[in-house]
Amino acid sequence: MKPRLIALTATALALALVVAACGSSSKTTNGSGGSSGGSSSGSGTINGAGSTLAAPIYQQWGSTLKGQGLTVNFNPVGSGAGQTSLAAATVDFAGSDPSLKPSDKAKMKGAVLQFPVAAGAITVSYNLTGVKSGLKLDGPTVSKIFQGTIKTWNDPAIKALNPGMSLPATNITVVHRSDSSGTTQGFTTWLSDVDPSWKSSVGEGKDVNWPTGTGGKGNSGVAAVVKQTQGAIGYVEQAYALENGFTYAAIKNSAGSYVLPTIPNTSAAFLGITVPPDLGISTINSPNAGAYPIVSQTFLDAYKDPCKDGGASSGTAAALKKFLTYAFGAGQQTLGAGSSQLPYAPLPSSLADKDNTQLATMVCNGSAIS
Amino acid sequence: MRGTLFAATIVALIPLVLVIYYLLHKGLSLWFTSGFFTTDPTGSFFGNPGGIRSAILGSLVIVALATVISIPIGIGVALYLTEYGKQSWFANTVRYFVDVMTGVPSIMFGLFIYIVLVTSRFGGSGYAAWKGAVALALLMLPIVIRSAEVVLLLVPSSLREAALALGAPRWRVVFQVVLPTSLSGLLTGSLLAIARGMGETAPLLFTVATAFGLTFNLNSQMNTMPFLIFTDITSPRAAIQNIAWGTALTLVTIVLIFNLFARLIASRSSA
Amino acid sequence: MEASATTVSGGRSALERSPAGRLPDRVLKWGLSGLAALILILIVYFFIRLVGQSGHVFSTYGLNFVFGNNWDVSRNIYHGGALLFGTIVTSVIALIIGVPVAVASAVFINELCPRRLRSPLSILVDLLAAVPSVVYGLWGVFVLAPRLLPAEKWFASTFSFIPWIGGGVPQLYNYFIAGLILAIMILPIVSAISREVIATVPQADKEAALALGATRWEMIRMAVLPYSRPGITGGAMLGMGRAIGETIAVVLVIGSAPKIGSHLFAQGYTLAAVIANEFGEATGIHTSALFAAGLVLFVLTLIVNVIARWFINRGSHGTRGTGATGMTIASGPASEH
């Protein structure tokens, strides 16, 4: 008798859960996911996916906007995956560090708008006892380290850049990303810019054939390996470096100065760059004299007509517009160097204005979104 | 010799002990944080990271749906194999294919559902909880079928023949003799399949994605424990990494309870 | 048919059921057959979609995809030989480490341990399978890999004369760690099957050996193990099948370097891990390459499973082949791929 009772109870519970799930689809305040069935304009749920660099930003904003009735689900799967999801219209917006190339745009279901949102520095973090701060590195040296030609910390090339600093003979362990990543894209783009030999032998991309080194999954994977390995060096986003108290190097920028990845130096990367009409900027190796050279911009990408091309309802489109308006407005106040701000560089007002102008062109099935 | 073999058995159990110890060490304190089980993740970078309520309930809902799909179908197929198909070429082909299904890596089920249901935006949604449930059901199905078949075969033919001799129609024999007799075995197999489903990550990656807030809407993205563990562990914030460990402890506990329960029923019912 | 005392109208025997009475039976039979057919259709459809998605990369590279050695995403070159190498190497390591321990524990539990301990010990070993693989992976990242690195370094330098095993500079994430985690994950399935098989050894064989004066251990060596060898081999192959397809645990500890590693403690990559790492990003021929990797995995596990079943069926003399071991195969270990 007992097993029968258990079986019946279990089945009843399972069915109850399922009925509850089906039944409450109309009652839930979160609205339906993706872009099916809408709720009142400006509230509801929007889904995004993409950049791990920007994930903390969107997750923080989502948490704030929840209080205003807007639910933002962001899946930090990486810039490329975000773009692919947007192309398949399985999400309402994508977070992407690299700007959209013409080949990327061709894969989309319709015209896509890209909005620069913020920038984050990519630090060159290391773990070396006795060398706590002040290490200087330039492009060609970093390139040689990551190519494996410079193998020890007391190599003459490193010594030459850091006279007066005592460097141990420890082996250098290079750490890179094992998964595809916009951070890798930013880092390798900079390396290709500053070292022609890197460009020809390895090249740039979200995923490259690393000549040497260990792979860690995600920024935290790289951070974990660096933390655990004496003599390790890896490229890690600012937020992770700061959270983990990493030591990072000052890198030589295009103007010849050695710059640390502080927020002001990251913001400086926005100044002096050219802004193309589709807002596909690049802050890597910025010409600005005070800028940190390895700064990755990050974009929010969405369809110009999310209803027609992305299958969104008018309610979802309105919610998307509300999210984007927040992103270029009040959301920017949450970014910066303050203790209660997220460690990213906010947009200069000129760029934020351009974003807002572009946002106004977003429509739903041809008509303007309220 | 006995000592060596005993040592080997202990060696086999060492990882279990170490893993559980580590989970307790890193995750137990999370259980006593206020709101861990009663609030949802907030995604907030600075403030309260919230709890894991939506993940626990999301996992339960998705696995429940997967169970509702896979268990009736699984037992049905097993019934076919034992009562009707027996050793016919068709039945043996089905058995072979079920064997094949047990060997498929779970990520492939997720990808299959991804290309069939997600990219086609079937049902008006991209990633959806019910699609993840279907992927899990595909995973659980062969387990249910194999274990149910074994159990159904153990029902003595004398029982079946006695019922038939009394004039009962085939369907009565199945529902009133075979199934009740094998009930505890079927239950064991089902519980083990459910335990398996709860711990899976790969099938959910490309079918359900995730959500922070609590939702019971099957046609939307939903939070789940394995997914939460997988993504939270990569957060720069130590507090959120700790949540991943707390979730891992919760997940392992739930799965262990299902397993122990199943084995208890199995050992109770067998002599 | 002649009219007789037992016929009713229409010439049916009174003992036969009426057509209406047979309807539920027919419905049940055809309904259940339909479900069974559904399974067949599902797998075939799955295979067809898989092949369809992989077609592009196979038509571009042919068999080079499987055996060539150059996986370069940024240049869109997909030769997955290094991935296949990694899959096989990690699975073999898992077998070498896991099977002896599993069989030893099975022998101990069935033959040598006190009766009262039998059930608790076997439940504990089976519980190894209850830990989700993401948890094993994380434990590998945070505990196993860093803690074992010094030992690996000592091993590599002490045994540097053995080709491929020693002599290299151990990396934090490597083939060995991945193989070790896989060994832990396949242990419950191999142990469960071994226990089942060892339990079917006829008592007469064992008593005969003891009667001839054999010690306990000699009895096991002479009567139990040879009898169970086919079944245990089958179990080991099933374990290998699981190891081949394991994704989440491996992706965290393999190092993800798409090269053929030069030593045991080098980083590598597996077919399953590459799918998990790169699928979200992939487009065009890259997606096709990842599906093709899945196809190779599918075929591999198919082959291994077929061999395994054959061994197990051969080994269970007297008992219905899949019967005795079916329950444990299907329901026991719940390790994730």
Q: Using one digit for the tens of pLDDT, what is the confidence trace for C70-109?
A: 888 777 888 888 899 999 999 999 999 999 999 999 999 9
| Test the A interface: residue of C71, C74, C283 with most A CBs within 10 Å | C74
- Tell me which amino acid residue C122 is: S
Q: Do C277 and A217 touch (CB under 8 A)?
A: yes
Candidates A77, A204, A209; nearest CB to C280: A77
Q: What is the pLDDT of residue C317?
A: 52
CB A284 within 8 A of CB A254: no
Q: Could you give the CA distance from residue B46 to residue A60 in angstroms, rounded to a whole number?
A: 8
Q: Could you give the CA distance from residue C15 to residue C6 in angstroms, rounded to a whole number?
A: 7
- Would C40 be classed as within a structural domain? no
- Would C35 be classed as within a structural domain? no
Q: Which residues of C touch A229 (CB under 8 A)?
A: 172
What is the domain-level CATH number for residue C258?
1.10.3720.10
- Would C22 be classed as within a structural domain? no
Q: Could you give the CA distance from residue B229 to residue B238 in angstroms, rounded to a whole number?
A: 13
Domain ranges of chain B: 50-270
Pair type for strands C69-72 and C77-80: antiparallel
| Interface check B4 vs C, CB under 8 A | yes
- Tell me which amino acid residue A281 is: I
Q: Which residues of B touch C131 (CB under 8 A)?
A: 16, 19, 199, 252, 255
| Interface check B171 vs C, CB under 8 A | yes
The total number of structural domains that make up chain C:
1
Look at C112 and A321; give whichever has higher pLDDT: A321
Q: Do B192 and C143 touch (CB under 8 A)?
A: no
> CA of C171 to nearest chain B CA: how many angstroms apart?
21
Phi-psi region of A298 (alpha: psi -120 to 50; beta: other; left: phi over 0): beta
Question: pTM, whole model, 2 decimals?
Answer: 0.82
**Domain range for residue C66?**
59-331
Phi first, then psi: give them for residue A110, nearest 5 degrees: -165, -165
Q: Percent of chain C beyond pLDDT 90?
A: 19
C72: closest chain A residue by CA: A209
Q: What is the pLDDT of residue C334?
A: 38
Q: Which residues of A touch B42 (CB under 8 A)?
A: 63, 66
DSSP A335: B
Regions in chain A scoring below 70 on pLDDT: 1-43
Q: What is the pLDDT of residue A224?
A: 80
Q: Which residues of C touch A85 (CB under 8 A)?
A: 280
Query: Is a pLDDT exceeding 70 seen at residue C326?
Result: no
Q: Do C43 and B201 touch (CB under 8 A)?
A: no
Other Cβ atoms less than 10 A from the Cβ of B180: the count is 13
Q: Could you give the CA distance from residue A220 to residue B241 in angstroms, rounded to a whole number?
A: 10
Q: Using one digit for the tens of pLDDT, what is the confidence trace for C279-296?
A: 877 777 888 899 999 889
**Among A residues 140-179, those touching chain C with beta carbons less than 8 Å apart:** 171, 178-179
Q: Give me the CATH topology for the region B50-270.
A: MetI-like fold (1.10.3720)
* Cβ-Cβ contacts under 8 Å for C125 (sequence gap 6 or more): B9, B12, B13, C105, C109, C187, C188, C191, C192
Look at C14 and C41; give whichever has higher pLDDT: C41
Phi-psi region of B21 (alpha: psi -120 to 50; beta: other; left: phi over 0): alpha
Q: Could you give the CA distance from residue C184 to residue C200 in angstroms, rounded to a whole number?
A: 25
Measured in whole angstroms, how far is the alpha carbon of residue A315 from the centre of its chain? Answer: 27
- Which value does ipTM take for this structure? 0.86
Two structure tokens written together for A215: 């792979």
> CA of A176 to nearest chain B CA: how many angstroms apart?
15
Q: Which residues of B touch A73 (CB under 8 A)?
A: 209-213, 221
Rounded to an integer, the average pLDDT of B192-199 is 86
Q: Percent of chain B beyond pLDDT 90?
A: 27
Look at C119 and A324; give whichever has higher pLDDT: A324
CB A183 within 8 A of CB C224: no
- Would C81 be classed as within a structural domain? yes
Q: What is the pLDDT of residue C96?
A: 95
Q: What is the pLDDT of residue C283?
A: 74
Two structure tokens written together for A190: 């900079």
Q: Which residues of A touch B43 (CB under 8 A)?
A: 59-60, 62-63, 74
Q: What is the pLDDT of residue C8?
A: 60
Q: What is the pLDDT of residue C337?
A: 37
Q: Using one digit for the tens of pLDDT, what is the confidence trace for C169-182?
A: 888 889 999 999 99
- Would C54 be classed as within a structural domain? no
Q: Percent of chain C beyond pLDDT 70?
A: 88
Question: Which is nearest to C178 in space by CA: C265, C70, C263?
Answer: C265
| Test the A interface: residue of C138, C152, C256 with most A CBs within 10 Å | C256
Q: List the A258-259 sheet strands across, edge first.
A: A136-137, A250-252, A258-259
| Test the B interface: residue of C131, C191, C283 with most B CBs within 10 Å | C131
Q: Do C216 and B11 touch (CB under 8 A)?
A: no
Q: What is the pLDDT of residue A21?
A: 53
Q: Could you give the CA distance from residue C124 to residue C133 in angstroms, rounded to a whole number?
A: 17
A14: closest chain B residue by CA: B64
| Test the B interface: residue of A18, A84, A225 with most B CBs within 10 Å | A18
- C-alpha gyration radius of chain B: 22
Look at C176 and C334; give whichever has higher pLDDT: C176
Look at A20 and B100; give whichever has higher pLDDT: B100
- Would C105 be classed as within a structural domain? yes
Q: What is the pLDDT of residue C6?
A: 60
Rounded to an integer, the average pLDDT of B163-188 is 87
CB A49 within 8 A of CB A74: yes
Q: Do C322 and B150 touch (CB under 8 A)?
A: yes
Q: Using one digit for the tens of pLDDT, what is the confidence trace for B2-23?
A: 888 889 999 999 999 999 999 9
Q: Could you give the CA distance from residue A7 to residue A1 in angstroms, rounded to a whole number?
A: 10
Q: What is the pLDDT of residue C279?
A: 82
Rounded to an integer, the average pLDDT of C222-242 is 85
- Would C92 be classed as within a structural domain? yes
Q: What is the pLDDT of residue C68?
A: 84
Measured in whole angstroms, how far is the alpha carbon of residue A207 from the centre of its chain? Answer: 15
| Interface check A252 vs C, CB under 8 A | no
Where residue C11 falls among pLDDT bands split at 50, 70, 90? low
| Interface check A311 vs B, CB under 8 A | yes
**Among A residues 324-343, those touching chain B with beta carbons less than 8 Å apart:** 340, 342
Quickly tell me which residue has 């560090």 as its tokens.
Answer: A97
- Tell me which amino acid residue C66 is: V
Where residue C164 falls among pLDDT bands split at 50, 70, 90? confident
- Would C34 be classed as within a structural domain? no
Q: Give me the residues paired with residue A95 across strands.
A: A50, A300
